[in-house]
Amino acid sequence: MKRQYFGTDGVRGPYGGPVINEAFAERLGVAAARYVSRQTHTGEQRVLLGRDTRASGQSLLHAVSAGFASMGVDSAVLGVVPTPAVAAALVRERAALGVMITASHNPASDNGIKFFSRGGIKLSDQQEAEIERLLPAEQPPLLYSRSHHLDALRSYMDNVKRLLPANSLAGWKMVLDTANGATCMTSPFVLRELGAEVVTLGDAPDGHNINAGVGSEHPEKLAAKVLETGARLGIAHDGDGDRCILCDEKGGVLDGDEILTILALHALKQGILPASTLVVTVQSNLGVDAALREAGGRVLRTSVGDRYVIERMLLEKATLGGESSGHIICSEISPTGDGLVAALKVLGVMLETRQPLSQLRRCLKKYPQASTNLRVREKLDLATLPHLPMAIQSLEEEMGGYGRVLVRFSGTEAKIRLLVEGPTEAIVKAGLARLVAVASTDLEVI
């Protein structure tokens, strides 16, 4: 069944638009309650609700909770929490479903709704389609939500800080950018508990400044602050805390591919990477494959979206996977992407090897890559476009197996994403320019 509302990562869009509004959120709560009732005929049917710092989050959370209440399903409100804290609470509380009100790295004008099943795993395409099928045609009578508050932060932070020995970061200065989002309290607390001196950025949320020029999508301020303060590294999250981008002591920014390669190669060397396997998406650089292959490991690729990575990890019994965007899944610790866990894992490698981040990152030699996003009026079927499919095929043939082209529509925004990877910078830049020109002909770019 094709999904109408769910995209790559939940339901997302402009707040107050046709989908992300209180009326639809309540209907979605009803549908999710029906889904829960069908999945759990007996036992725990309670759901857990969290949100990030967006001004629209509280009313959307209340609307979703009211939808659950109208079907007799109780909810526990976690408040402002990182997305991985919702997943962790699901495991700990053995609740039936988790809901996170967030638009992740998107601006404050957007919001969204993510769902997690038992065990803290994001719903599959089929499960999301089932919830859509159960949507009521009309908004139910508005009820006061049957909910209570549950503190999920203390146990989450206590668990995560056990990843490193007590006081192991004493004498370490680092810069932390929490994107004015859900990690403003959790990440600085854990790092300071471990002894680090933490210089913060993006730590003053006002409901409207989440991801605004800060966070994992905007690492420039992080890099500048690392150089200014002489810090050992910088860490940046996105608005809901499931991403991690790093900055080395020289101001160089590391994306998810570099983080994954550092962690995978270190685990391989220690003999603790199950099946010697790293799971990434088609978006990751081909250099990741080369680095793992040389070390005796293998890379498996999935469609874009961390939930597809997680599905493949479960299938392959792998414990490490993620995306170049900074979603890093260490499944032996967290069932979903966790930006703080990823940062602590890299800090652990730094402590063990006594190498700076600028040295560790050399393990990945990236293939030249160029990419861009074009905002479009409408997301059409790529296969039906008159010129773009042929342009993609022609470019790939010209690179003769030493490169690749990735063209896809965003699952959450009205954008087409274009990526060219190849043997030289000149080839990929020229190739991307060709694709942009053709895409602009086939699609209405705005």
Q: Provide the token pair at 152.
A: 């999920």
Question: How far is it, in rounded angstroms, from Cα 120 to Cα 335?
Answer: 6
Residue where the block lists tokens 């900074």: 326
- Paired with 111 in beta bridges are 13
Give the up-direction half-sphere exposure of residue 220: CA atoms within 13 A in the CB hemisphere. 4
CA distances from 35 to 96, 117, 127, 205, 308 (A): 10, 11, 9, 34, 21
Whether residue 23 contacts residue 135, with contact meaning beta carbons closer than 8 Å, is answered with: no
Phi and psi, residue 349, nearest 5°: -65, -40
Q: Please choose, from the candidates 171, 25, 162, the residue with its C-alpha nearest in 3D space to the C-alpha of residue 88.
A: 162
Strand order in the sheet with 277-281: 298-302, 277-281, 320-322, 328-330
* Catalytic residue status for 324: no
Active-site option among 65, 70, 75, 104: 104
Beta bridge partners of 440: none
Name the amino acid, one letter, at 362: R
Distance CA 57, CA 194 (A): 31
Rounded to whole angstroms, how far apart are CA atoms 336 and 347? 19
**b/e for 413-441, b at 16 or more Cβ within 10 A?**
bebbbbbbbbeeeebbeebbebbeebbee
Half-sphere exposure of 179 (CA within 13 A, CB side): 34
Which of 423, 438, 235, 444 shows the shortest CA–CA distance to 340?
235
Beta carbons of 306 and 283 less than 8 angstroms apart? no
Q: Minimal CA–CA distance to 337: which of 348, 326, 324? A: 326
Contacts of 172 (CB under 8 A, 6+ apart): 195, 196, 197, 232
Residues 6+ apart with CB under 8 A from 290: 365
169 residue type, one letter:
L
Tally Cβ neighbours within 10 Å of residue 237: 33
Residues designated as active site: 104
